[in-house]
Structure 1
Amino acid sequence: MTMNKLVWRLLCSDFLSNLATSLAAKIISLWFVLAVFGEERSVPWVSGFLTVIAVAQLLAGLFTGAVSDRHDPIATMTMACLVRAVASAGIIAILVFCPTGGFAAVLAVIALAVIEAMCDTAYLPAAASVSHRLADGQELVRLLGWLRFFALIGSMAGPVLAGIGADRGWFAGTMALETVALLVAALILAPIRHSISRQTAGLAEGFWLAWKAGLRAMVGSESYQVMLPFAILEAVSSSALSMVAIYFFTTTLHVSATWYGVWNALVAAGYAIGYLTAPWLSERMRFFKLLALSNLAVSLLLAVISVTDSALIAVVAGFSFATSQGVLNPPFQTIFVQAVPSEKVGQAMSVFISVVGAVGALAVPLWGVVADTLARHQPTTGIDPYRTILLIIVAVHAAMVVCALTNRRVRAISID
């Protein structure tokens, strides 16, 4: 099988996997709201459901990457899709036979969704491992950029399909789209299995010994040591922005929620353009310069958003902010992939995603406390809580600019 066919199969499966993931999360949440509990009673169930899924992904992510490293990563991705498809079929059966829920039905749906989420954590690290075997250096940046682009398109399409289906009450039928997408993804991946060299290192040793060895390799990598603080700060920043955005439009700017929808659409489009632009910039610029310029642009654009009274300016700046941030993702991921032995890529990626994801998840309630505190004192201080949090994010990214330009270890990092 030619390299182009391998890459296209990988890209298409990534699109379908992300479409399935985003569709399932949304349609289950909408089922809770529209068919089971109603809008008022559904809030704790939806938030609890999303929290359980997040915790399951974080915990599973510590180990699923190591599993993919010990076995054929394509087989891991294929099996993950198939198990998710079976769990999806179980959810469909519940939606068909218990359309208005019931306590047991709801718990069963959540349990099956947890299985799906845990299997999903095996997919991305395995895909990163496959990518590393298909390309290296700037070619890897290009491949990862396209992978992120296809994944983003899938993640955008899923909620749209879920919303259309939920509006018509087609919960089971819409969920069936996830099952079909996962089965097609598995069929697309199957022929690749024998076209990519299989890693056998570590199979002779026990899983826990291999897992510990992989963890030591990751922690001992200078690139991981240098870049992890940047990733953590980015997670903290993103968690703040995700919480603040809707309140900024509806409470600070006093505009309709439609503008928040426009913001989300343009931010997604900005990221897509950033992912595709990343290889071109990475070839022409040292990584530390790209890191500094990306964060500088993000700082300036978020500063504009924080002071503007125009929703139009805010969404345009949001598009530019996402593009500026998106150009950094593929080179950043390439550095992590190249920083560890190829037989440990899956584990390194999954542990890294879990750690950074946990930081982001823990930061959300803390930002909520900050926002509530500022809001309570706003009548006396006159300080807008959401503009203030945006300015804090600006300061975080400005600090990353300084670190990127002054830290010798960051300046020494290169994409070979």
Structure 2
Amino acid sequence: MRAESLIVRGFGLCSKRLETLVPDEIDPRSPFFVGRRQGPYLEISGKRLVIFCSNDYLGLSYHPGVRGAVLEALEAFGAGSGGAPSTSGFTRLHHELSEATAEFKHRESALIFSSGYLANLGALFALGDRDTLFFCDRLNHPSLLDGVRLSKGDHKIYEHLDLDHLESLLRDLKGYKTRIIVTDSVFSIDGDVAPLPEIVELAKKYKALTFFDEAHATGTVGEKGGGIEDLFGARGSVDLLSGTFSKALGSQGGFVAASSRTIAYLKEKCRHFQYSTSLSPLCCAAALESLRILGAEPELVTGMRSNFDFIRENLRRLGLSLPERPAPILPVLFGDAGKTRKAAKELYLRGIFIAPLTPPSVPEAGSRLRITAMATHTEADLKILVGAFDEVLKELKD
């Protein structure tokens, strides 16, 4: 009886704790879901909205070429891969995607994962033994932070983009055979960019490796969307590049690109690769076609950047202080969760969908709307956004 009462009491405490995590104004019994999505438009509860928070930056998820490639793969392979890479789950499409990714990132080899999160988690877990010390930017994506924390290595956090702090850690912390600097290329919340040349220089000076996550850099920055190395004119300077096919490339899955020797090591040591069911062949086909289109249709990248510039400049005219960014991510800070949710709701009523970012995703003072531009937004879409923002900002002042 005593054990049973303790269990019941424990469940009660957990239930109360969960209740405190849900803001009062959110009804957890009534979550919204997207009923339909076509390009930059979606439907929620029958209401058509223009999306301005999607990571489908180039609109490739709905590109006719990508959809056609998926249908061909469906006929040839079916919906799922049917197994892990070491069994029956590694198809011709997985092989072709591995080679295409390595070529796109100017590396000898690449490893394909079921998601970008798994790519980071698995690679860092495999790289970190007891003689490894990781150096992580404080605002790195959770998949990077989780990867180093779950590994057998030690880790230190340096303040966001603070290279003086990073150098002090590199200089003072010795006694490890392997030291790895881990950072996002483009940070997903603010859209700011890691200073690649300076980080690479520090890595050389203190004999460290570099690991950059290209999730929000692939397809958005650099010549033809090649990523952070192309942005800085420094191809081949980073030791390991990870990324995802689920953002600008409009598909699903993740990758790590590096030297052939490094990828061979990860194939043997990475449990997240060995024991996960392989990425669906449909996603492989979509990502392959997206990489082809990215090379053949550079106007997608220039169109996305043009749309982003239009949004930024016109919102500045409304009095918003907005940073310069090479990536199509624009943070509009409200500094208050309630105000941010109200702004999102008012935009929703005016036909604009931007999901609010509030705690626990960001601190209360960092509550914001994260606006993203897509290549497939029309001029009319952009004008609707600016007009809606004008009305909402005035309403929030009253």
TM over 0.5: no
- The structure with the greater share of residues assigned to helix is 1
- The structure with the greater share of residues assigned to strand is 2
What TM-score does the superposition give when structure 1 sets the normalisation length?
Answer: 0.28
Q: Which has the higher contact order (CA 8 A, sep 6+)?
A: 1
